[in-house]
Structure formats: C-alpha cells, structure tokens
Amino acid sequence: MKFAAIFLILIALTMSSVCMRDLATEPDEIKVRALTQNEKQVNQASEVFGLELFRQVVEDEKDKNIFISPLSVSMALGMTLNGAAGETRAAMQRTLDFGDMSAVEINDAYSSLIKLLTSIDPLVQFEIANSMWAHNDFPVRQDFINTNRTFFDAMISTLDFRSPSALKTINGWVDQKTHSKINKVLDDIPPDAVLYLINAIYFKGTWTFEFKKKETNDETFFVTENERVQAPFMRQTHDSLPYFENDLFQIIDLPYGNKQFSMTIVLPANDKSVNDVVSQLRGENWSTWLGSLRRQKGTIQMPKFKLEYKKSLPGVLSAMGMGIAFSDAADFSGINAEKRTAISDVIHKTFVDVYEEGTEAAAVTAVEISLTSVGPAPGFFMRVDRPFIFAIREKSSGTILFIGKIVNPA
C-alpha cells in the first residue's frame, strides 16, 4: 500500500546512515568523530544495499505496507559472511556492496560502527544485539565463533534443536532484545536446521520537536484514488526543519534527540505515484536529495501509525545476486568444513510505532543455516558382492557395445 512507501522510505536507512549529511550545525547538536575510511565504505555499502533491498521488497509486494531494517539484514549477513568461502563469499560480498574490502576491514568497520551508533546520542535509545545458536551435534569452527564474538559481540549458545525448549529459548532472546516489541522470530525449527545467526535492533527516540497531542485530529488518508480511510494526523509548525521539494516529491527530515537520528519522509507530488519515487531510489539520487535539504519554516501533517512486518528474504536476496548461498553449491566451509550447508532462510521481522512524542522501532533478522542435500541420501543401498552382468553402451542410440557377466572378478 502507498501508506508504507510514503512514510517508511527510510526510517531504517537513516539509522544505518547516521552521518549521511552534515546539515548546518546548531548549538545543541553534538560533535561526531570523523568516520574511518573502512567505516565510510561499510556505511556507503549499507546505504546502497539497503536502497536496493527496499526497491526489491517493494517490487515483490507492491500494494502492501512495508517496513524493513537494512542495517539488521546487513549485520546478520555480515556475520554469516565470515563463514562463506569461494564464489559464495564473492557473491555475498558483491550483494552487500563491499567491493574488494578484506574480511578484516569489513569486520573492523562493523565493530566500530556498532560502538558509534549505540553511543552517539544519549537522548536516543539505540541497541544492537547479535547471537549465534548452534545445534548441539553440529560442530562450528572455532575461528568462526571467535570472529563473530570479537567483532559483532555475538552471544554464542549451543542448544538441542530437537527439544521444544530450543524454540522458546531463541524467541525469548529476541523478545528481550527488542523490549517485547517482537516476541518471536521463529515459528518452528526445521529438521535440517543446524545454525542460526540473529541480529536484533531496538530504537526509541523522542522527537527533537514533539508534536502536541491537542493538534492531533482525524483526517482523510487517500490509499488510492478510490479508497480512503480516516487516520489520526499529527501537526506542527517549526522555524527550522530540513526540507526540499522538486517536481517529483517533497522531502523532510524530522530529527530525534540531539539530531543524530532522524526520520526522512518522502511524499510524491500530486501528479506522481510512490512507484515513480521508488524507481528513482538509488544511492546517487538519495545522496543528492539529502544534500538538497535546507532548514526552513514550515508545517508538517502526518498520520500516527503502528506497523508489524515480516518477510522471508531468500527470493529477494537471490534476485540481488547471492542465489548461490541458498543452493547446494553454497560453500560455508568457514562454518563447518566436514558438512555441506547453505542458507535455508533469512527471516526478517520489524515493528514501528510513530506517535506525538517520538518513535519506537525494532527489527530482527535470523539467518538459518541448514544441511544441504549433497552427500549420502536416504534410499536404496547396492553392494555388488556376487556374480553380475554389465554392459557398455552408447546412450544416444541405445546401442550395446559390450555386454558381459562377472562370476569371479579375481
């Protein structure tokens, strides 16, 4: 539905691009240290990946509310990347837009960005948690464990996936880390699943300029030209809000706390559609739009809304270029060298509540690793240990070239 794309084009992306653009500094804004080169690369990659992920999800669900966290998906896949090898790693790295960055550079950047994002604004509550859950009979390489513990601060746990308590334990962790906004990410644990890599994000920010409840009134929201609904609309006028408009849209940036976090709203022009905007939503254009924001006096009216969203992402991520990671050709030997595994699912769940005082949002991404069909398969067993007949033939014509019987191979 248009509802989501109009107002949610980048709640999550603004979180992952904290230093997206240095608008005119005001006295109450805090000073932020310069990003390292590696941080800039990962930050830029997260933006490019996130915009493409969003466009793909919109294409997949054109007329539905959508809310995703590119940062959460990127971080969960970033942990998984540490176990990928060969073409699987190359495909994942291309999809995540990491270019030729080394594993050490990527992990270092994730680690420092986690510290920066979670401490940058004391007036905004922003938490990131990572975990890894392994089935108790599936040995995970120690290097993989150590890397994700060191750089992603991942909690490592071993469980009996066949026990009903395993599902409760994993979902309990999710519930805790999202402050009960997402109470579960897994509906069940499939028989072939052996490992879960999970990222959880929680955000609670108070508007820098809060909306007054007395200004909230029911107004008409136009879902389509023929479909209308009533919704509570918030309203405020302010002397200094980052704003820009052109023939395609109006764009405004509503800050939280000390203005390090914000919600960017893009509203299509009257003669344009959300799809017109989405079709232009690429990294270079996005940077240009943000760079055009200028502080102005104006009034904003917008609906309050609350949304829960869930999406299984293998199809979308395959379309973005990492299909091999979901196939029997996947190489995750960095996780376990003895058993063949692949990503069987990437489950993404989100929550957002936008109201007069601010916004509360949460996201969880679970990468499910399962055993592949490569290797011994159930079925018949044949042991040729007694006299037998054999033939040598040409398959296309069916011609038998030789035929024989072996009674004693010695």
Q: 11-20, 212-221, 323-332, 354-363: which range is least confident on average? A: 11-20
Mean pLDDT of 327-347: 93
Question: Domains of the chain: which residue ranges?
Answer: 2-207+305-371
In SS3 terms, the chain reads as CHHHHHHHCCHHHHHHCCCCCCCCCCCCCCCCCCCCHHHHHHHHHHHHHHHHHHHHHHHHCCCCCCCCCHHHHHHHHHHHHCCCCHHHHHHHHHHCCCCCCCHHHHHHHHHHHHHHHHHCCCCEEEEEEEEEEEECCCCCCHHHHHHHHHHHCCEEEEECCCCHHHHHHHHHHHHHHCCCCCCCCCCCCCCCEEEEEEEEEEEEEEECCCCCHHHCEEEEEECCCCCEEEEEEEEEEEEEEEEEECCCEEEEEEEECCCCEEEEEEEECCCCCHHHHHCCCCHHHHHHHHHCCEEEEEEEEEECEEEEEEEECHHHHHHHHHHHHHCCCCCCCCCCCCCCEEEEEEEEEEEEEECCCEEEEEEEEEEEEEECCCCCCCCCCCCCCCCEEEEEEECCCCEEEEEEEECCCC
Mean pLDDT of 260-287: 85
Name which of 36, 32, 15 is nearest 23 in CA terms.
32
Q: Please report the pLDDT score of residue 401 as a whole number.
A: 45
389 confidence band (pLDDT: 50, 70, 90): low
Residue 96 to residue 313: CA distance in whole angstroms: 14
Q: Please report the pLDDT score of residue 30 as a whole number.
A: 65
What is the pTM assigned to this prediction?
Answer: 0.84
Residue 161 to residue 395: CA distance in whole angstroms: 46
Residue 147 to residue 79: CA distance in whole angstroms: 9
120-131 tens-digit pLDDT: 889 989 999 999
Distance between the two ends of the chain, CA-based, in angstroms?
A: 74
Mean pLDDT for all residues in the chain: 83
61-89 tens-digit pLDDT: 877 888 888 889 999 999 999 999 999 99
Identify the residue whose tokens are 């009257």. 270
Mean pLDDT of 212-219: 92
Q: Please report the pLDDT score of residue 393 as a whole number.
A: 46
Q: Please report the pLDDT score of residue 139 as a whole number.
A: 92
Q: Please report the pLDDT score of residue 138 as a whole number.
A: 93
- Return the CATH number of 2-207+305-371, one of 3.50.40.10, 3.30.499.10, 3.30.497.10, 3.30.450.90: 3.30.497.10
Name which of 357, 368, 1, 402 is nearest 187 in CA terms.
368
Q: Please report the pLDDT score of residue 46 as a whole number.
A: 82
Residue 381 to residue 148: CA distance in whole angstroms: 41
Residue 346 has pLDDT above 90, yes or no: yes
280-315 tens-digit pLDDT: 888 888 889 889 999 999 988 888 888 898 999 999
8 Å CB contact between 126 and 55 = no
Name which of 170, 162, 137, 103 is nearest 339 in CA terms.
137
Higher model confidence: residue 61 or residue 174? 174
Residue 385 has pLDDT above 60, yes or no: no
At what angle are helices 283-291 and 37-60 packed, to 10 degrees?
110
Residue 360 to residue 124: CA distance in whole angstroms: 10
Contacts of 49 (CB under 8 A, 6+ apart): 70, 74, 95, 96, 97
Q: Please report the pLDDT score of residue 397 as a whole number.
A: 38
Using alpha carbons, list the distances in angstroms from residue 287 to 44, 194, 255, 337: 10, 41, 18, 42
Q: Please report the pLDDT score of residue 44 as a whole number.
A: 82
Using alpha carbons, list the distances in angstroms from residue 102 to 8, 42, 93, 392: 33, 11, 10, 51
